[in-house]
Structures are given as structure tokens and as C-alpha cells.
Amino acid sequence: MKAPAVAYDDSRSRAREDGGFATKRSERPRGLDALRGWWRRADVPAVLLFAAAYVLAYRFGMAFSASSAAPFWPPDAVLLTALLLSPPSRWWILVGVALPIRLFTAVPAGTPFAFLLAVYAVDSAKGVLAAAVLRRVLSEPPRITTVRAFAVFGLVAVLLVPALGAVAGAAARNTLGHPFGASWQQWFMGNAMTQLVLTPALLEMCAAVRRPWRAMDVRRWVEAVLLVLGLVLTGAMAFNQGHEGALVTGRQLYAPVPLLFWAAIRFGMPGASAGVLIVVSLSMKAALERGGAFVGQEHDVIALAIQQYWFLTAAPLYLVAVLVEQEAEVKRSLVESEARFRNMADTTPAMIWMSGADGRRTWFNRHWLAFTGRRPDTEMGEGWVDHVHPEDREHVVLGYRGARDSRKPLTIEYRLSSEDGHYHWVLDQSVPRTAPDQGVVGYIGLCIDITDRKRAESEAHAHRMELARAGRVSTMGQLASAMAHELNQPLGAILRNAEAAELILQQEPLDLQEVRAILSDIRRDDQRAGAVIDRMRAMLKRRDLEFEPLTVRQLIDQITVLLRNEMLARRVTLQLDIPSWVPRVRGDRVHLQQVLINLLVNGADAMDGAGYEPRRLDVQARLADEQTVTVAVRDTGPGIREDDLSRLFEPFFTTKPSGMGMGLAISKTIVESHGGRIWAENNAEGGATVSFTLKVADSRGDT
């Protein structure tokens, strides 16, 4: 199925080479080389071929009576064909070659030299004029295969130019004594008919010769041979048999017509052209011999009959052939574009698939099959799903179904088993295919292997987790005393209660009610201590991000319990400004609390020195835009040196004597893994503010 495209391209490129000779004049070779170069440039064989054809056509044209204009004037068709096949820069050669032929061959005795020159000039002008117009319309190689080309050809080469030429020709004949009106009509009719019938056929023949040989199957061959036989037979029947008056009454003249249309419909322009040439030559032979249908007819009558016959036959015949060609061209370009797509899809280093409207896969490119090591028949339909990793299968199937229902593009990642038996991560991006009037007719998807990227990502993720954990541990170090205090409260209460109970047990009367109250208090304090330990463990635990919708208030409330004593010991007041209309954010509770703890402890550290009273930490939450909540932690400390502002979030950057310099770096990592950003600035009224953004939780729920 690729052949047409290739053939087309070849013929085009060759045509360009032919036409390009005029530009190859950059050097001037000498001697034999010069001769060879000239030979090649002038394309001498082609010129000789033209000359031979022209001589033949001229003699044939002149074979009709010299007493009137020729009813059939092939030289015009030969010249126009040759001109259309040559670049304009070579037209002078062709026109020049025609001159001696016109002057010295088959000249009827007594024709004035001036008349011959005039007629030659008129014919040459006609040819050049028609060629100049037509070459703008016809593609390369010049063939009449579209309705537009046919219309322009008919208007210019068949009607306009012959009409103009006939004026000049009739004027020339008028000088020889022929009446102008009759001469014009004869001249015009002869020229027009020849152009209509012969030029498309000649162009077709030349194109066929230049076209590379294409294999035709046996049945087509048989059909073609039958057609030729039929045309020869019916043509002979139409024109070579007959009796006097057959031309006027003979219905057998139309015997070849059905076969001509058959040829046109089945073989397009080449078929129509070949058929026309066969029947034309038969009709001309009969006309020249005045035999068959033309027995006993006058020259004028024969000419008119032939002209009418061919006008009426050739015009619709070529039109049908052109329509067939156009249709074939549409099909060819479809096939070609399909082939081009397949070719491209097969050579792309990505896996490509297509599905139909029902979502079932209908096609996989070569790369997919090579990657998965499977045959198309096992992959078609739903077969390919079997090779998706079992854990990803549901996700993939639901993903495609959802996209199909909503007719949206889909980007999805999943693991696909490859030929080597290992699962590879692929990124599959698919878009709906649409057809005019049909909407979505399926999907086309492109997959790339992202295993390496995935591995790098997961390594980076593990690295981030490790850092976050390290940060938690170091912050936990700073918080250890606060945690100890937090534990000492309930533990102290338990001890005191136990001691009180011991005393009660030694006293009379035994106050059982008080003992019960004490036991209940002990249990409550024990749970309190347990909760403290759970919190600590949760913070130390190594875990992945778990996103959930959270309120900033929840986040801060849980850590103020942890930080309460730390803040008290450092004489820091914590003030919260978190309006209830600030929406929930999407985030990992423990990690975000880690960030808040880092910022609060940093703020408290900053205010440790003297002179920053009252020591205040303000936590403020605001809705920055529809999608973003900003949380700001503001202190009343000394602020941050301008030089340090930019380096604040770098790992191991610290201004504290005992700091590791990881707190803010880790906070940055955490915030960024939540899709937010974090920054620090100095307050106009003193102190610093560190702010970070979080994404608003999706109201439809969160995954």
C-alpha cells in the first residue's frame, strides 16, 4: 500500500530535475565536455522526439484537403503537450524546431511562403499562450485529472485560444481567397476538436511513459486487453464498415461509446486516453480513406461529422475520467496519509495505540509490540490489560472509562510487563480521536517508558523522607525537655494520688469514695501520659506523606499542647489568629506540624536574648486566593540579617550556636512537597515573619 506515495514522490523529484537544468549554467565547460553539457541541457533526444512527432502530426494534419482548413489539426496538440512538458526557458527550442518542419515538409504546391510563415506564427503563438496559462493550473507531471484543470483546459486551450487563432488563421486564408466566416469556423472547429480530444490523451501518454512501471494484477490485464479488443472491434464496426449515407443515419457510430466510458470509469484518464486514441485513429483512417462510414461523402461533410462526433463523445468521456481520477486521488491521499501515519507511528520510539468508540483497542504500533513482546491478536480489544500490573489494573481501566465517558484527554501512569518479564512504568497520554459528524470515534494514546524517572523520583522521595525524619529527630532533641515536662505533669499527679490513697488506707474510717475518685484520676492521668508518648512516637515514626483535609486550627492546637511548657519557660506568649472562614488545607498532619514546630521554636530561639520583651509569637492564617492558604509565624525578635534572608532555607545554614541548620531546610522540603512555598521577611516594626502557603483542600474530597 506504500507504493503510490513512493511513486508519486519519485516522479515529482524527477520532474524537478528535468525542470532544473536551466539553473545548471554556472560553469562553462570546454570541448567535448561543453558539447556533452550542451547535449544534456538541451535534452536533444527529447527535442528529436518532439520533432518526429511534430512532422508526423503536421503531415497527418495536411493530409486532409488543402482546400479547406484541416478538420483535425494534431500539430497544435503535439506542440502544446511538448510545451507543457518543458520549462518555459526551453520553449524557444521547441518553437524553433517547428519552423523548418512547417516550411519544408508536406507543403502543398503553390502555397505562398508568407502564408506558411503567418500560419506558423499563429500556431506557435496559440501554443505558447495556452501553455503559459495551463502550466499555472496543472500539477507536475502535467495531466488533466481534476475538474478544475479540465475546466481551465476547456476554456483556454479548447475555446479561447482556438477562437483567437482562428481569427488570425481565417484572415491569412482570406488572403488566399477563402471566405473569412467559413474559414474561421472550419479553423476553429478543427483546432478546438483536436485540442479537446488529443492533448489530454498525449499528456496522459507522456505521463504514463515517465511513470515507473507498476504491477497490475492479472484480472486488470485481462480487462484491459478485452477493452482494447472491444474498442478496435467496435471502432472498426463504426467507421470502417458501411454504405453510403451511413454517416448520417448510422447508429453503429456509437458502438464504441459504452466501451470508452467503461475504460474511463475503470482505468481513469489513462483508460479514456488510450480508448480515445484507438478510436480516433480508426475514425481518421476511415475519414482519410473516405471509406467505411465516410463512403462517398464530401470533405466538408466528413470534417463536420467527425468534429461533432468527437465533441459530443470526448467531452463527457474526459469529464467522467477526470471525476474517476479525482475520486481515486482522494482515496490515494487517504491511503497515503494512513500509510504515512502508520509509518510514522511505527518508527516513533514510543508506544502508540488506538481504540475504537467502545474503548477496545484496535491497533498497536510496532514499538508497543516489540516492547511487550506480544502479537497484535493477543493485545487487541481488552487483551493488553492482562499485562498491566495487577495493582494498577483497576486504576487503569477506571481511568480510561472515566476519560471515555467525559470525552477528555487522559494522562495516566501504570506498570506494564515488558518482553523481559519485568514491569516497567509507562506514562500513557491519550486524546480522543474525532471524526466530522461523528464526534469521538475512539482514542489514540502514546506511552513512554518512565521507569528510570520513576526510580529517580522514588529515590528522591526516600531521601526527602530521610531528611524530614532527621529534622524531626533533631527538633525532638530540642523538644525533649518540654516533652519530659509534659510527661511529668500526669506522672506527678499519679504519684501524689497514689500516695494520698496510701494515707487514706491507713486512716479510719476508710474513705472508699475518695479512693475511687483517686483511682479514676490516676487512670485519666495515665491516659494523658500515654497520649503524650503517642504524639512523640508519631512524630518520630518514619512514614510517607498522607494527605488529608486539615484545618490550620487543628494543626496548631495539637502542637501548642506540645510546645506549651517550652513557650512558658521562655516567657513567650503564643497568639493565634485563625479565622473560622479560612478553609481546610490539604496536607500531611505530622509533617505540617513539624513545619509549625520548627517555625515556632525558631521564633522562640530568636527572642531568647534580652530586650525583646514582650516576647510574642503570632500565628496567622489567611486565604491568599481561592486555592491557597498562607500561614505566617511572626516573632518580636531581632529579625534576620539581610545577608541571611536568602540563605535561610539552605541545609546546614544556622545562626544558632547549637543549631544543626536543618529545621528550615526540612520545612522547605515539606512545604514544597505539599505544593506550597515558604519565605521569610523582616517586619517593619521589628522581628521576623516566616510564611508558607498550602493548597486549599478539594471540596469534593481528597485523595
Partner 1 sequence: MSIHNGTVYIVDDDASFLASAARLLRRSGFMVEAYPSATMFLAERKSDAPGCVVADLEMPGMSGIELQDVLARTEHPLPIVFLTGRGDVPTSVAAMRRGAEDFLTKHAPKDELVSAVKRALERNEREDRERTRRRELEAMFARLTPRDREVMTHVLRGRLNKQIAADLGIDERSVKRHRTNLMTKLQVTSVAELSHLAHEAGIVRPDGDEAEAIAATPQTVA
List, edge to edge, every strand of the sheet that includes 688-695. Answer: 573-577, 616-625, 628-635, 688-695, 678-682
Q: Between β-strands 548-550 and 573-577, what pairing exists: parallel, antiparallel or unpaired? A: unpaired
Q: Which amino acid is at 484?
A: A
Q: Which residues of 242-261 are buried (b: 16+ CB within 10 A; e: fewer)?
A: beeebbeebebbebbbebbb
Instruction: Rank residues 47 and 504 by Cβ distance to partner 1 and give the closer one.
Output: 504
Minimum Å gap between C-beta 521 and partner 1 is 6
Shortest distance (Å) from residue 692 CB to partner 1: 27
Three-class secondary structure assignment of 262-297: HHHHHHHHHHHHHHHHHHHHHHHHHHHHCCHHHCCC
Single out the residue of 488, 560, 673, 683 in contact with partner 1 (rule: CB under 8 A): 488
Q: What is the dihedral of CA 259, 261, 265, 271, to 10 degrees?
A: 70
Cell of 226: 478485452
Decide if residue 409 touches partner 1 (CB under 8 A). no
Residue 222 vs 495, nearer CB to partner 1: 495
491 or 538: CB nearest partner 1: 491
Task: Name, in order, each residue with C-beta under 8 angstroms of 171's C-beta and a sequence gap of 6 or more.
Answer: 180
Q: Does 486 bind partner 1 (CB under 8 A)?
A: yes
650 is an interface residue for partner 1 by CB under 8 A: no
Q: Is 687 left (phi over 0), alpha (psi -120 to 50) or beta?
A: left
Q: Which three cell numbers stand for residue 345?
A: 507511528
Helix (H, G, I), strand (E, B) or coil at 451: helix
Kindly tell me which of 97 and 572 has the beta carbon lying closer to partner 1.
572
Residue indicated by cell numbers 513545619: 595
Say whether residue 520 binds partner 1 (CB under 8 A).
no
**Please, what is the minimum distance in Å from the beta carbon of residue 631 to partner 1?**
23
CB 506, min distance to partner 1, A: 9
Contact with partner 1 (CB under 8 A) among 17, 457, 499, 548 = 499
Query: Which of 113, 180, 140, 102 has the alpha carbon at shortest distance from 9?
Result: 140
Of residues 81 and 497, the one with the C-beta less far from partner 1: 497
Q: Please tell me whether residue 494 binds partner 1 under the rule CB under 8 A.
A: yes
Binding flag, residue 594, partner 1 (CB under 8 A): no
484 counts as binding partner 1 under rule CB under 8 A: yes
Q: Please report the DSSP string for 24-89 in residue order.
A: --S----HHHHHHHHHHHHTHHHHHHHHHHHHHHHHHHHHS-TTS--S--HHHHHHHHHHHHS-GG
Min CB(507)–partner 1 separation in Å: 7
Q: Is 528 in the site for partner 1 (CB under 8 A)?
A: yes
Find the helix packing angle between 44-63 and 74-85, rounded to 10°.
Answer: 160
Residue closer to partner 1, measured from CB, 205 or 500 = 500
Contact region with partner 1 (CB under 8 A), list: 3-11, 41-49, 284-292, 485-493:
485-493
When asked if residue 398 is in the footprint of partner 1 (CB under 8 A), the reply is no
User: Taking CB under 8 A as the rule, does residue 490 contact partner 1?
Assistant: yes
Residue pair 253/238 in contact by the 8 Å Cβ criterion: yes
Alpha helices in 417-546 (DSSP H): 451-506, 512-540
What's the CA gap between 527 and 530, in Å, rounded? 5
Nearer to partner 1, 379 or 618 (CB): 618
Residue 503 binds to partner 1 (criterion: CB under 8 A): yes
Buried b (16+ CB within 10 A) or exposed e, 440-452: eebbbbbbebbbe
Minimum CB distance to partner 1 smaller for 523 or for 541: 523
- Closer residue to partner 1 (CB): 42 or 480: 480
CB of 476 to partner 1, least distance (A): 16
Q: Binding pattern to partner 1, positions 186-225, x when CB under 8 A?
A: ----------------------------------------
CB of 580 to partner 1, least distance (A): 24
How many residues sit close enough to partner 1 to count as binding (CB under 8 A)? 29
CB of 698 to partner 1, least distance (A): 38
CB of 557 to partner 1, least distance (A): 16
Determine if 546 is a binding residue for partner 1 (CB under 8 A): no
List the x/- string, 554-593, binding to partner 1 by CB under 8 A: -----------x--xx-x----------------------
Contacting residue, 406, 481, 520, 627, with partner 1 by CB under 8 A? 481
Stretch touching partner 1 by CB under 8 A, among 21-29, 486-494, 614-622, 688-696: 486-494
If one asks whether residue 491 binds partner 1 (CB under 8 A), the answer comes out as: yes
The C-alpha torsion from 624 through 625 and 627 to 633, rounded to 10°, is 0
Residue type, 139: S
| DSSP result, 292-325 | GGGTT--HHHHHHHHHHHHHHHHHHHHHHHHHHH
Positive or negative: CA dihedral 117, 122, 125, 131: negative
Residue 3 or 569: the one with the smaller Cβ distance to partner 1 is: 569
Enumerate the β-bridge partners of residue 280: none
> How many CB atoms sit inside 10 A of residue 691's CB?
20
- For partner 1, which residue of 117, 228, 232, 500 counts as binding (CB under 8 A)? 500
Extract long-range pairs of 610-617: CB within 8 Å, 24+ residues apart: 612/636, 612/637, 612/638, 612/687, 613/571, 614/573, 615/570, 615/571, 615/572, 615/573, 616/572, 616/573, 616/575, 617/567, 617/572, 617/573, 617/574, 617/575
**Contact residue for partner 1 among 176, 495, 512, 561 (CB under 8 A):** 495
Residue 496 near partner 1 by CB under 8 A? yes
> Where does this chain touch partner 1 (CB under 8 A) — which range of 239-247, 408-416, 496-504, 613-621?
496-504
Shortest Å distance, C-beta 524 to partner 1:
7
Measured between alpha carbons, how far is 196 from 191 in angstroms, rounded to an integer? 9
Region binding partner 1 by CB under 8 A among candidate stretches 215-223, 249-257, 261-269, 490-498: 490-498
Cell numbers linked to 78: 503535439
Q: Interface with partner 1 by CB under 8 A: which residues?
A: 481, 484-486, 488-497, 499-500, 503-504, 507, 514, 518, 521, 524-525, 528, 565, 568-569, 571
